[in-house]
Amino acid sequence: MDANSVTAICATVIAVASLAVSITEARASRRHNFQSVRPLLSLDCFRLNSGMAGIRIRNAGLGPAIIRVTTLYLDGEELGPWEKQVVDPLRDTFAVWPNFSSLRPGKPIPVGQELIILAVEEYDPARDAEFWAAVTQRLRIHVQYESIYGNERQEAWFEGSPPHRNSLNWQQGGAAGSSTDSDAQAEPSQSLQ
């Protein structure tokens, strides 16, 4: 082998190695771009000191969430999508007509936004007991969403709230450090990713 052949072989090896590094970098960059705009929705029930109580959805992710499919369940039975014509018959059953926001397919939820999807403005424990029981025990909401890239579908569930206990566990011989705040204003639900 002469010097020109060795130089040509080395140049070819370097070119192939450069191509492999470029492809790997492009894939890593694309993966990073997808992750940098990934939304993370959560749904929970709440009661505020201002008197408002209901269900809200929040985007705690890094990018906007685009709603694709929603499903409302009442007592385990599927009612349909979280839209006005499906939710209005349920709203009719409460003492006070709750405010409502739909989650139609294609609706974006920007980063950091909190959207109240069902709520009464001035919650009264006696008057709105049936509303609160529905929110915390009877309603379930399933939301499928994706990022602006539309590359993967994610989901979040609203599953009510665990039963609220009025007594402190540690006073009754429970585990050290476990307690229940009787003045708690928010009762979160589970959120699945």
In terms of C-beta distances under 8 Å and separation of at least 24 residues, what long-range contacts does 88-92 make, across chains too? 90/134, 91/118
What is the distance in angstroms between the CA of the first residue and the CA of the last residue of the chain? 60
* Beta strands per DSSP E along the chain: 41-47, 53-59, 65-74, 77-80, 99-100, 108-109, 114-120, 139-146, 153-158, 186-187
Q: How far out from the chain centre does Cα 65 lie?
A: 9
Percent of the chain with pLDDT over 90: 60
Is residue 152 within 8 A of residue 144, CB to CB? The reply is no
Token pair belonging to 19: 């191509």
pLDDT in tens, 28-38: 887 777 667 88
The answer to whether the pTM exceeds 0.75 is: no
pLDDT in tens, 158-181: 998 766 544 344 444 444 333 333
Token pair belonging to 155: 């989901």
For residue 61, pLDDT over 70 is answered with yes
Q: Which range is least confidently modeled, 1-10, 47-56, 70-79?
A: 1-10
The C-alpha atoms of residue 119 and residue 55 are separated, in whole angstroms, by 6
The C-alpha atoms of residue 50 and residue 26 are separated, in whole angstroms, by 51
Token pair 């590359």 in the structure block, residue = 151
pLDDT in tens, 80-135: 999 999 999 999 999 999 999 999 999 999 999 999 999 999 999 999 999 999 99
Query: Which residues are 47's β-sheet partners?
Result: 53
pLDDT value for 163: 60
Mean pLDDT on 130-148? 94
- Which residue, 66, 99, 96, is CA-closest to 84? 99
Mean pLDDT on 135-145? 95
Mean pLDDT on 59-77? 94
pLDDT value for 92: 94
- Which residue, 99, 86, 102, 110, is CA-closest to 143? 102
Mean pLDDT of the chain: 83
